[in-house]
Structure 1
Amino acid sequence: MGQRQNQYTQNFDELPASETAVWESGSYYLPGWSVYRSVSNNIITANNGSGNTGRLISYGSTGSTDRALGSIASAKAGELLYMLLLQNNTGSTIKSVELTFPPLKQVGFLGYLATATVYLPS
């Protein structure tokens, strides 16, 4: 493992803790983070994990600011693409990137495997 000189972290605690908020498709709700949707719905809903309606979700205990970004797939919610934009302003070439994240929780598994794909432009 190499030396970590620059590190980016995001805890998602700026997501709404109650009710709903607007997160326009393609816009940044959190610095660097955007969501693209296959259907026209611009709502992110706070949820404690009890619901099963397809949508973009700010997960966490009711009223708590400790949040996680998630979604439930459905025809109504459409397909969701999460994107994080990081820009190298150091003047040096990035030689490696390490991504770490806590395990994904998959609720209501219906035979579909959730995947995470990373695209790194050259």
Structure 2
Amino acid sequence: MSSQSRKNWSLEVEDEEIKKLFSIYNGKYNLIAKHCRSGKSPKQIRDRYVNHLDPSIDNSPLTFQEKMIILKMAKESHSWSKIQKALPNPGRTTLLLKNFYHNAKRKNQHLRTNPMDVELLLN
């Protein structure tokens, strides 16, 4: 694939093509990759679909209950799929859980060094 044709390719167009091919090939990522003009690998297509394009994904903010479950379970194990199954909302992706946990951990470390940063604590 030439670099010029890649410059004209947009994420929106790529996403629409992946969604269309997903419905045609029923989630067979090897076939989707073979017919996708973006040149993405089956793993890249799967990751994009599972983490961003799947219509069952719930992108609303995590509830307090979900946050507590993630924080408690992640202390014992970083098996994001097990944590995902323990949540009351099945529309949360493992990527979302992992990102939330690592961001919360980073905030906690920041608060230890800057205990008066109330703004960060409240967000």
> Shorter-normalised TM-score: what interval?
under 0.3
RCO greater where, 1 or 2, for CA within 8 Å and sep 6 or more?
A: 1
TM-score normalized by structure 2?
0.23
Query: Highest Rg: 1 or 2?
Result: 2
More helix by share: 2
TM-score normalized by structure 1?
0.24
